[in-house]
A and B are shown apart, each in its own frame.
Chain A
Amino acid sequence: MPVISVRNLVKTYTVGEVIVRALRGADLDVEAGEFVAVTGPSGSGKSTLMHILGCLDRPTSGQYFLDGKDVSRMSKDELAVVRNKKIGFVFQGFNLLSRTTALDNVELPLLYSGGSKMKAAERHRRAMDALKVVGLGDRFHHFPNQLSGGQQQRVAIARSLINEPSIILADEPTGNLDTRTSIEVMDIFQKLNREHGITIILITHEMDIAEHGTRLVRFRDGKIQIDQQITKRRNAGEELAALPPPEDIDIAHIPADPAPEAHGGVA
């Protein structure tokens, strides 16, 4: 049974007096353990699909089964629970809380699940584990403005992992990062996919990023234009080994930027 199954998904909304037909009947099945890269030009409907898959939005018509359950008819509160438990989000702009430590940022989803009854020590332990998975075992108490872009994105990935979701939805996670850091982030996604069996759906503009996935889905005009397996898959680990070593600057040892919002944190 596919973990995600979408049938004839239509999403229409109005902006002012213009009717936007963002999705015009999309069908998609994603099996557990797949790494799907979604591409397409701006306005092709890929972000709208992402919002619906992420239970942030509901389709105008069509059906969406998540783990066999029809999500398209769930109430707002039920959707919030699904977002909390089953789905992890990673955004282009990281969306970390500023003036809040990496550890506290990672713990955040726990506060909205049973985690609030969890002991503080238990929450910390889980957040630390998640941060170790993304290679930030030494950055627990840093604030977002003391971390580089790549490190911030890793905190965001750790946050998406904390409730052990079956799916991670990443919306252009490398859009704000340089090439090397992008590959580092893709390395983490590939490891999560390979070693933890997490299904990953990733939106990207860049083909070389998309080629880290197992399957490519291309949108055009609200419909899926191309849906194919990726034959020559890139391996981020190998790419990193081939790259020259990074310039040895650790941003954590540069005095903190006086402007706390300097690194795209959420105010």
Chain B
Amino acid sequence: MSIIMTLRIALKALNRNKMRTVLTMLGMIIGVGAVITMVALGRGAQATIEEQVKSAGTNVININAGNFTQGGVRQGQGMSSSLTAEDAAALRTVPGVQYVSAGVNSRGQLIAGNQNWSSQVQGVDIDFQLIRSWPTAYGAFFTPQDVASASKVAVLGKVVSETLFGPDVDPTGQIIRIRNQPFRVIGVMAPKGQGAFGQDQDDVVFAPYTTVQKKLQGQQHINNIIVASETPDTATVSAAITEALRLRHKLVAGDPDDFTVRTQEEIASLRTETTRTMTVLLAAIAGVSLVVGGIGIMNIMLVSVTERTREIGLRMAIGARGRDVLLQFLVEAIVISLFGGLIGIGLGFALSMGIERFAQWPTSIPADWIGVAFGVAAATGVFFGFYPARKAARLDPIEALRFE
């Protein structure tokens, strides 16, 4: 019997029991839909991270002061005073290093007119803007003279600017008070959005690191250095940086680093890994519903075989071979699972779009997973349909014809 004929017989049989067919299909629809939605959410999260990595600058290497031990007490990262501006300056001579910016972290209450806002105040060098490829929306970034003379100038993040001066206002030339010291606003950064760890990158004030050291903190060390390498080969450059810093800090072999070097990629891959694990976990849970859907198909097919025992006997009496009967029931199971799978893919699409629209979660529907879902649906049909189909094919025609 031709496969098209088998398909037509299967469709007719399924059509005779519409309600049951639809309910059985529902198991597959929900299963496939759930898998697609979960994977779409996971892929969306991964895509966001990749976007953030790009926005943070691609060839970026972060060096943090840290791992500093004093009298047996280990200090947290960035808390020790192991890095200095001289370290930063020295890194400029390391091969492969393009830009270097020393960084000092601080927080403070900002006041402008009758508005005030608590934000982080980052002391950076002029290279910072180049490393992060981050243009200004208004005004300009500070100059080498500002850094050298520790002048009280500030470049505001978009959030800070809008909070203190209102949206779409150019605050250049205004005075704000940081920890009660007057700073002149010389620019506003273009919006950057969320950072790799979910922080708002626009809720920040930039000032020359020398100013933050001397005017706000009254100390000499720096918290971090960010470096841009000339090529994307950040691993080699970060190794060279480690070497140079160990030499400067007079660490002998066996001493632990008193700083940490991380490439942007490492930071990102950590989070990507986490997200991927979550995606796999969610997809696995969704996969359970797919298996349940498959068992539903098997259950219904078994009922169907018993119910149609006499039909099977008749078909055999008029010339159906075992394999014709096997194929008939197998095709019925596959039709249910494939149709269910197709509708499930549609449902997955709809759910993902709904989530993106109403929950503002980014989703990305992966083309390869559509193929996978379809394949899994077909395989489910074959796997769970085979046993009932074989049971039908092995019936004794005489017994089957007598079946009441």
Residues of A within 8 A of B (CB): 51, 54, 56-57, 76-77, 80-81, 83-85, 89, 91, 95, 97-100, 108-109, 111-113, 116-117, 159, 163, 266-267
Task: Tell me the minimal C-beta distance from B311 to chain A in angstroms.
Answer: 4
Interface residues on B, range: 20 to 34
Contact B318 A54 (CB under 8 A): no
Contact A77 B315 (CB under 8 A): no
Contact A95 B319 (CB under 8 A): no
Q: Does B310 contact A (CB under 8 A)?
A: yes
Contact A95 B314 (CB under 8 A): yes
Residues of B within 8 A of A95 (CB): 310, 313-314, 317, 401
Contact A112 B311 (CB under 8 A): no
Residues of A within 8 A of B323 (CB): 77
Contact A99 B398 (CB under 8 A): no
Task: Tell me the minimal C-beta distance from A142 to chain B in angstroms.
Answer: 16
* Cα–Cα distance between A57 and B313 once the two chains are bound (Å): 13
Contact A117 B2 (CB under 8 A): yes
The answer to whether residues A57 and B318 also contact, given A116-B5, A266-B308, A267-B310 and a CB cut-off of 8 A, is no
Residues of B within 8 A of A51 (CB): 398
* Cα–Cα distance between A77 and B320 once the two chains are bound (Å): 9
Contact A112 B307 (CB under 8 A): no
Q: Does B324 contact A (CB under 8 A)?
A: yes
Q: Does B12 contact A (CB under 8 A)?
A: yes
Q: Does B57 contact A (CB under 8 A)?
A: no
Residues of A within 8 A of B308 (CB): 266-267
Residues of B within 8 A of A (CB): 1-2, 5, 9, 12, 16, 307-308, 310-311, 313-324, 397-398, 401
The answer to whether residues A80 and B5 also contact, given A51-B398, A57-B398, A108-B315 and a CB cut-off of 8 A, is no
* Cα–Cα distance between A98 and B5 once the two chains are bound (Å): 19
Residues of A within 8 A of B2 (CB): 116-117
Q: Of A98, A112, A159, which contacts B1 at CB under 8 A?
A: A112
Would you list the 8 A-B pairs with minimal beta carbon distance, nearest first? A84-B319, A112-B319, A80-B321, A109-B318, A116-B5, A116-B2, A266-B311, A95-B314
Can you name 26 A-B residue pairings with CB atoms under 8 Å? A51-B398, A56-B397, A76-B322, A77-B322, A80-B319, A80-B320, A80-B322, A80-B324, A81-B321, A83-B318, A85-B319, A89-B317, A89-B318, A91-B314, A95-B310, A95-B313, A95-B314, A95-B317, A97-B311, A108-B315, A109-B318, A109-B319, A111-B9, A116-B1, A266-B310, A267-B307
Residues of B within 8 A of A97 (CB): 311, 314
Contact B315 A267 (CB under 8 A): no
Residues of A within 8 A of B398 (CB): 51, 56-57
* Cα–Cα distance between A97 and B13 once the two chains are bound (Å): 10
Most chain-B Cβ atoms within 10 A of its Cβ — which of A51, A83, A100?
Answer: A83
Please give me the residue from chain A that is nearest to B306 by CB atom.
Answer: A267
Task: Tell me the minimal C-beta distance from A42 to chain B in angstroms.
Answer: 14
Contact A111 B314 (CB under 8 A): no
Contact A112 B320 (CB under 8 A): yes
Residues of B within 8 A of A54 (CB): 317
* Cα–Cα distance between A85 and B397 once the two chains are bound (Å): 17
Task: Tell me the minimal C-beta distance from A78 to chain B in angstroms.
Answer: 9
Residues of A within 8 A of B12 (CB): 100
* Cα–Cα distance between A233 and B316 once the two chains are bound (Å): 34
Task: Tell me the minimal C-beta distance from A91 to chain B in angstroms.
Answer: 7
Contact B321 A91 (CB under 8 A): no
Residues of B within 8 A of A108 (CB): 315, 318
Contact A80 B316 (CB under 8 A): yes
Task: Tell me the minimal C-beta distance from A185 to chain B in angstroms.
Answer: 19
* Cα–Cα distance between A176 and B202 once the two chains are bound (Å): 88
Q: Of B9, B311, B318, B322, which contacts A84 at CB under 8 A?
A: B318
* Cα–Cα distance between A85 and B318 once the two chains are bound (Å): 9
Q: Of B310, B318, B324, which contacts A159 at CB under 8 A?
A: B318
Contact B1 A266 (CB under 8 A): no
11 more A-B residue pairs beyond the given contacts A51-B398, A80-B321, A116-B5, with a C-beta to C-beta distance below 8 A: A77-B323, A80-B316, A81-B319, A81-B321, A84-B319, A109-B319, A111-B1, A111-B9, A112-B318, A159-B318, A266-B310
Task: Tell me the minimal C-beta distance from A60 to chain B in angstroms.
Answer: 15
Residues of A within 8 A of B401 (CB): 91, 95
Residues of B within 8 A of A84 (CB): 318-319
* Cα–Cα distance between A163 and B316 once the two chains are bound (Å): 15
Task: Tell me the minimal C-beta distance from A117 to chain B in angstroms.
Answer: 7
Residues of A within 8 A of B317 (CB): 54, 56, 83, 89, 95
Residues of B within 8 A of A57 (CB): 398
Residues of A within 8 A of B314 (CB): 91, 95, 97, 266
Contact B321 A111 (CB under 8 A): no
Residues of B within 8 A of A85 (CB): 319
Residues of B within 8 A of A76 (CB): 321-322
Task: Tell me the minimal C-beta distance from B322 to chain A in angstroms.
Answer: 6
* Cα–Cα distance between A85 and B12 once the two chains are bound (Å): 25
Please give me the residue from chain A that is nearest to B9 by CB atom.
Answer: A111
* Cα–Cα distance between A267 and B315 once the two chains are bound (Å): 13
Residues of A within 8 A of B316 (CB): 56, 80, 83
* Cα–Cα distance between A112 and B328 once the two chains are bound (Å): 12
Contact B319 A113 (CB under 8 A): yes
Task: Tell me the minimal C-beta distance from B331 to chain A in angstroms.
Answer: 13
